[in-house]
A and B are shown apart, each in its own frame.
Chain A
Amino acid sequence: MFSNKYILLYAAATVVLVAFALTLVAVQLKPYQEKNIRIEKIQNILASVNITSSKKDAEELYKKYITKTIVINSEGKEIDSIDAFKIDLAVELKKPIEKRLLPIFICTQDNGEKNYSVPLRGKGLWGPIWGYISFKNDFNTISGAIFDHKSETPGLGAEINTQKFQKQFFQKNIFDNKGNFVSVKALKNMSIKDSHTVDAISGGTITSNGLNQMLFDCLKMYEKYFKQKAK
């Protein structure tokens, strides 16, 4: 039989051994994992300004096209000395609105046109949804949008990450004729066809509503800055 002392020592030794092995693995693999997350973010930003990239050329294309990044606060003031790329919107959204840091990624296309891409984050039906949306230099017309989700229903809400849905946002406006912020909404059966609505996904009503809320809330934070710049 095993004595109590043996059992305690045995348990302690195994724990230490396993902890050591896991730490070793985690430390060794961390650079690779961080690179993956970075590349994914880059690919999303590039996709929102309509540049397709592969895992290999993402870094290169990012350097080439994203010519400037800025960080602003909700008052629309630019804040220096913070790397826009390192800002995690999920963290920022937990802060009170006046303390939030909001990144903008400025892309210069081959023809010299500038697009301004901003991150989005909100709630879907089952979990978080997020994306990037980019604007032309009138800070009103959408030039591209990309959405993704953690666990929306396949075939229904999960369709927000398809090109078919995302393409609808192209050329839509977030300000109305009088210059008031109205955002863009995905609506059922498209009863109102104007430049602020797109066709929602049938069967994905709650995801669509979450998406509308996300667009409204996130873009609202940029409203002041966009208005200043558009003048």
Chain B
Amino acid sequence: MNQEKRESLFSKKYLKLLKKPLNLNNPISVQVLGICSALAVTVQMKPAIVMALSVTVVTGFSCLIISSIRNTIAPNIRIIVQLMVVAALVIIVDQILKAFVYDVSKKLSVYVGLIITNCIILGRVEAFAMGNKPWASFIDGIGNGFGYGLVLIIVSFFRELLGSGKILGHQVIPKALYNAGYINNGLMILPPMALIIIGVIIWIQRSKNPELIDKG
């Protein structure tokens, strides 16, 4: 059995790692991690997309880096090393946002810094990257980032559409409708509505995937 073939970079196993967090193991709707930032940055789509990308980049690369050095990390300082890598990546992302998409970085304000404390990242690093090869860990990180981002984008889509009548800053609800008495839903732009939308997403997701329903 020594002819261990090198798996192709996008073999079924890797694709599964990428896909699973999108639905069956979604960090927000199934693992219920990272809710805090999901409430805060989903008022509009643009910041939500930027946030989703930032988290994906940070999770992907912190998993990659940690996984590549996993055999050199002493177990008693592993959390410190993990956090240092994550924090460094987050600061880099924050600096890049400030330099190139200043207006979005202002809207995201403290939540970029708070990516460090996003449980998704430390969760994946500790649970997956510490025990798997770099490429698999990277894919797993990216997958979880996407899973998080997907929920963020769905939530922000509804919140921006119903809360301000816009999508990505463009007015989509016609003026005629406003003249006919339609009013933007002010509740949509407040955090509680994000929680309710996430609740609805979890509801729909579980009704389609009965295996997710807790037995008991």
- Residues of A in contact, count (CB < 8 Å): 22
Residues of chain B lying within 8 A (CB to CB) of residue A22? 88, 91-92
- Asked whether, in the complex, the Cβ of A33 is within 8 Å of the Cβ of B99, the reply is yes
On whether the beta carbons of A36 and B43 are closer than 8 Å, the reply is no
| Contact present for B190 and A155 (CB under 8 Å) | yes
Whether B95 and A154, one on each chain, are in contact in the complex, defined by CB atoms closer than 8 angstroms, is no
B114 within 8 A of A: no
With contacts defined as CB atoms under 8 Å apart, how many contacts are there between chain A and chain B in the complex?
A: 54
A38 smallest CB distance to B (angstroms)? 11
User: Is B84's beta carbon under 8 Å from chain A?
Assistant: yes
| Min C-beta distance of B78 to chain A, whole Å | 11
Give CA–CA (A164, B182) in the complex, Å: 19
Interface size class of B (residues with CB under 8 A): 20 to 34
Q: In the complex the two chains form, what is the Cα distance from A37 to B95 in whole Å?
A: 13
List the B side residues contacting A25 at CB < 8 Å. 91-92, 95-96
Interface residues in chain A, defined as those with a beta carbon under 8 Å from any beta carbon in chain B: 2, 6-7, 10-11, 14-15, 18, 21-22, 25-26, 29, 32-33, 36-37, 40, 150-151, 154-155
List B residues at the A interface (Cβ < 8 Å).
43, 72-77, 80-81, 84-85, 88, 91-92, 95-96, 98-100, 102, 109, 186, 189-190
Given A14-B84, A15-B84, A25-B95, 18 additional A-B pairs, CB 8 A:
A2-B74, A2-B75, A10-B72, A10-B73, A10-B77, A14-B81, A18-B85, A18-B88, A25-B96, A29-B95, A29-B99, A32-B99, A32-B100, A33-B95, A36-B98, A36-B99, A37-B102, A150-B109
